[in-house]
Amino acid sequence: MKSDTQHDTQRVKGADLLQIRGLKIEGNSDGVWHPIVKGVDLTLKRGEVLGLIGESGAGKSTIGLAAMGFARPGCRIVDGTIMFDGIDLRTASEAEKRKLWGARIAYVAQSAAAAFNPAHKLIDQTIETAVRDGIRTKDQAVADSIDLYRRLQLPNPDHIGDRYPHQVSGGQLQRAMTAMAMSCRPDLIIFDEPTTALDVTTQVEVLAAMRNIVEQFHTAAIYITHDLAVVAQMADRIMVLRHGLEVEEAPTREMLKEPKKDYTKTLWAVRSLAKDESISDDVTLSIRNVDASYSGVVKVLDNVTVSLPRGRTVAVVGESGSGKSTLARAITGLLPPSKGEILFNGKALPKALKDRDKDTLRRIQMIYQSADTSLNPKQTIRDIIGRPLEFYHGVHGAARDRRVAELLDSIELNENYIDRLPTELSGGQKQRISIARALAAQPDIIICDEVTSALDQIVQEEILTLLMKLQKDTNVSYLFITHDIATVRAISDEIVVMHRGKVVQQGPKSQVLNPPHPAYTELLLSSVPQMDPDWLTNLLAARAEAKAKV
Amino acid sequence: MHPVLKTVLQRLGLGLLTLFVVSVVIFASLEMLPGGFAEAILGQGATPETVAAFNHQVGLDRPATVRYLEWIWNILHGDFGYSYAGLGGNIKRSVSELIAPRLYNTFFLAIMTAVVAVPLSLFLGIMAALYRNSWYDRIVNTITLTTIATPEFFIAYLLMFFFAIKHRWFYSLSTVSENTPLLEHMYRAALPALTLTLVIVAHMMRMTRASLINLLASPYMEMAQLKGVPRREAIVKHALPNAWAPIATVIAFNLAYLVVGVVVVEVVYVYPGIGQLMVDSVSSRDMPVVQACALIFAATYILLNLSADIVSIVTNPRLLHPK
């Protein structure tokens, strides 16, 4: 066994740990190999954290895995060298790489819930590599893991390891995975979007825990994310990637202060999208004291009162489990409320979907988060957008096609798309089609459930801009469900903050986003990462201070 | 009460209910069979009077509901009644006495087959998942598919031809009696067991392979690889524990087949199992024996499926260790 002190003395800060030169990776789709990474150079020194940032398809995860000498099935490394501490990972045998993996290079995956084996206890998975490689005995490894759990501020560190993955929360799992990666004291950890699946309030704790432990053990890391503000907290240097190529690379502060390339500047610009709020008293939908529950036991909505003015946008914001999507289900009649009433244009809305007439159905439309699953892959755009035209408005044949073309025009797509299938379109284009399908009914209200969450930032901005334009043209009201504060800032007139099924606060945007806040709103808003590299440090200090006062 | 225990008790209760329904179905469907034991035993020349007299003697002239209730009541007290076969004469043979040695033989053969076939198919399935799309995988798949697609009597005759006639390693007939010593019994049952193994291995092996391959793409398998776990260890330690539920279901299904579906193999090897007894009893309209056999078969199915359910619950930490 190597002791920690010995291990530490071996490390010389500043020496190169990882050198990637001319890395080219290809991916296979439908039997054709096409380039994913097109020649990337990367150098990482011991104890240094490099942030890899880019949109989906930039190749950042692929590069992260290649830094371990690994390519996912369907991918292959075709050119370049990957030198890890004097070992060429491209020519190393599987057995040689296996000795490095887990022991000297560790991986932290995006979804801890999926990356932990559901059949084994956390502790057994944490110590697996250390024990198998003979780095520690089982008892030593268990004791060490408990120490790591404690350093990572997991609750009840002595016993949390005896739990199975499904028994702990997502944020705790992500920290347990960091402990697992740390258990052999690796030289390098690859963090692959480790906080993307977490709520902002949880993200703060996880980021702080990961940053601490990497600093404590002086571990080099590659931190992969699409979120600039997050990477600003974690990385010493940032590399921006696009389409498998490096755009630019610089130390974090330098990069944030003055990005050189236009592409980087556009990444920065998205977050500044904002519209002026406009308040109206002309309420179209009024939800009054609504309770709803799936099992009949636990209330998912608890005495919820929300009103939606005509031609305005109300953003419903909250963490997962706050009941915001359930609110949408209650409004659409998919989950009839157990108590309370919903008034629509002054009249009571029948609770259950089947009791509503066609005209009421037409007036309330919905757009979902995933256009991939909400658009039928076997139907052409003509059928997808044409269906509500036929169903609600009785428009058929050439008249319908004309109307579909108009709708395509309004969502800024060429009318040639009419005969395409959803699979031929990009993520942003698919979401546009979802919007057109909702608009085709000429609704009074569109409920948007996390419609931009799965999209890249630049595409998000385009979709949000489009939604705002459409609102101006058609005076439609949006109930905009999201967990992302930047999106809220961009699109809303009013904001509803939800927490554990209750409405914490509703009011005009300027009022909700500016102090004084109720405690939960304060927690939520302060947890949103800022583009300031000192944000996390300052936030933690401020919270510690506030705690000390109490 | 622990939720697992609760589920098991629930399923057990449900199993008893099923068994009751099955008993009604068995009784009713045998009632509907044309002809009766009297006609079968007295021959075509029997006068209606002799048939009626015989039926009266056996008690068959009473209403069906009465006879059903009597039958089920006796079974609840462990009494399966008497075979019709001895009724004419002086020897009364109880059904239990008739069935017990046959059932023992059937279970003997089933267990012997299972002990070989289950580990073998698990092993072959794991190896096929490990080396999928390799030559090994293809060969194992082809061979097992061939054996499952070949009628079992044909496999039985082929094996008999090679192992009993060409090379006189085994007996061609597997006659055993209550006095046959254990090892001799195993030796005589070897060919039938081999035949059954060839019939059931494919199904279990392919399910093992498919369930494992299904899991190979999951993120925790990639994680295991990136933790440096060798492939073989990853499959056994990380994939297999999550694959038990579907595998156990298929194993239970095949084990049930070993008890209730092996009459063809029994006939070919003249092995005195319960399948043969049941077929004989059906043709002689010996209803008490048929009913008892059918009930035992139903109970076997229910119990084995219950065990498969228990395996899937116990191997699923979400159910075994609730939040």
Question: What value of ipTM does the predicted structure carry?
Answer: 0.80
Mean pLDDT of A121-142: 93
Is the per-residue pLDDT at B89 higher than 70? no
Is the per-residue pLDDT at B86 higher than 80? no
Is the per-residue pLDDT at A10 higher than 70? no
Is the per-residue pLDDT at A354 higher than 80? yes
Distance from CA of B241 to the nearest CA of A (A): 6
Q: Is B175 in CB contact (< 8 Å) with chain A?
A: no
pLDDT averaged over chain A?
Answer: 89
pTM: 0.82
Q: Quote the pLDDT of residue A13.
A: 55
Of A98, A99, A117, the CB nearest to B220: A117
Residue in chain B nearest A192 by alpha carbon: B223
Confidence band for B207, pLDDT divided at 50, 70 and 90 = very high
Distance from CA of B319 to the nearest CA of A (A): 10
The residue among A269, A291, A4, A9 whose CA lies nearest residue A143 is A4
H-helix or E-strand spanning residue A480: strand A477-482
Q: Is-contact B239 B221, C-beta < 8 A?
A: yes
* Residues in chain A, total: 550
- For A201-255, the DSSP string reads HHHHHHHHHHHHHHHHTT-EEEEEES-HHHHHHH-SEEEEEETTEEEEEEEHHHH
Confidence band for A31, pLDDT divided at 50, 70 and 90 = confident
Residue in chain B nearest A177 by alpha carbon: B223
pLDDT averaged over chain B?
Answer: 87
Least confident of A262-271, A284-293, A302-311: A262-271
Is the per-residue pLDDT at A295 higher than 80? no
Confidence band for A270, pLDDT divided at 50, 70 and 90 = low
The CATH fold assigned to B101-283 is MetI-like fold (1.10.3720)
Beta-bridge partners for A50: A222, A237
Q: Quote the pLDDT of residue A12.
A: 46
Q: Quote the pLDDT of residue B78.
A: 83
Q: Residue A547: is it exposed, middle or buried by C-beta count within 10 angstroms (0-12/13-18/19+)?
A: exposed
Q: Is B222 in CB contact (< 8 Å) with chain A?
A: yes
Give the strand pairing for A445-449 and A477-482. Answer: parallel
* Residues of chain A neighbouring B318 (CB-CB closer than 8 A): 118, 164, 166
Q: Is B312 in CB contact (< 8 Å) with chain A?
A: no
* Residues of chain A neighbouring B238 (CB-CB closer than 8 A): 117, 119-120
Cβ neighbours, 10 Å, residue B70 = 13
Q: Is-contact B114 B255, C-beta < 8 A?
A: yes
Q: Quote the pLDDT of residue B87.
A: 63
Confidence band for A1, pLDDT divided at 50, 70 and 90 = very low
Beta-bridge partners for B321: none
Of B229, B241, B317, the CB nearest to A128: B229
Beta-bridge partners for A315: A480, A495
From CA B4, how far away is CA B23, in angstroms rounded? 28
Q: Quote the pLDDT of residue A2.
A: 40
* Residues of chain B neighbouring A123 (CB-CB closer than 8 A): none
* Residues of chain A neighbouring B323 (CB-CB closer than 8 A): 166-167
Confidence band for B40, pLDDT divided at 50, 70 and 90 = confident
* Residues of chain A neighbouring B228 (CB-CB closer than 8 A): 98-103, 129, 132-133
Mean pLDDT of A511-527: 90
Mutate to test the interface with A, among B130, B215, B223 (most CBs of A within 10 A): B223
Beta-bridge partners for A341: A288
Distance from CA of A378 to the nearest CA of B (A): 26
Predicted confidence (pLDDT) per residue in B105-144, tens digit: 999 999 999 999 999 999 999 999 999 889 999 999 999 8
Q: Quote the pLDDT of residue B43.
A: 73
Is the per-residue pLDDT at A419 higher than 50? yes
Q: If DSSP codes are grouped into helix, strand and coil, which group holds residue A331? A: helix
The residue among A253, A239, A263 whose CA lies nearest residue A42 is A239
Is the per-residue pLDDT at A410 higher than 80? yes
Is the per-residue pLDDT at A136 higher than 70? yes
Structure tokens at A451: 């419609």
Contact B225 A109 (CB under 8 A): no
Q: Is B219 in CB contact (< 8 Å) with chain A?
A: yes
Least confident of A266-275, B68-77, B236-245: A266-275
* Residues of chain A neighbouring B218 (CB-CB closer than 8 A): 114
Q: If DSSP codes are grouped into helix, strand and coil, which group holds residue A198? A: coil
Domains in chain A, CATH or no CATH each: 4-272 (3.40.50.300), 283-514 (3.40.50.300)
* Residues of chain A neighbouring B314 (CB-CB closer than 8 A): none
From CA A483, how far away is CA A322, in angstroms rounded? 10
User: What are the CA-CA distances from residue A65 to residues A75, A106, A188 (Å)?
Assistant: 11, 10, 12
Q: Is-contact A493 A458, C-beta < 8 A?
A: no
User: In this prediction, what percent of chain A has a pLDDT beyond 90?
Assistant: 60
* Residues of chain A neighbouring B222 (CB-CB closer than 8 A): 72, 109, 115
User: What are the CA-CA distances from residue A62 to residues A27, A52, A228, A263 (Å)?
Assistant: 10, 11, 19, 21
Mean pLDDT of A97-102: 92
A–B CB contacts, 8 A cutoff, strictly below: 72
Give the residue extent of every domain in chain B. Answer: 101-283
Mean pLDDT of A137-166: 92
Distance from CA of A144 to the nearest CA of B (A): 17
Contact B218 A166 (CB under 8 A): no
Mean pLDDT of A492-519: 91
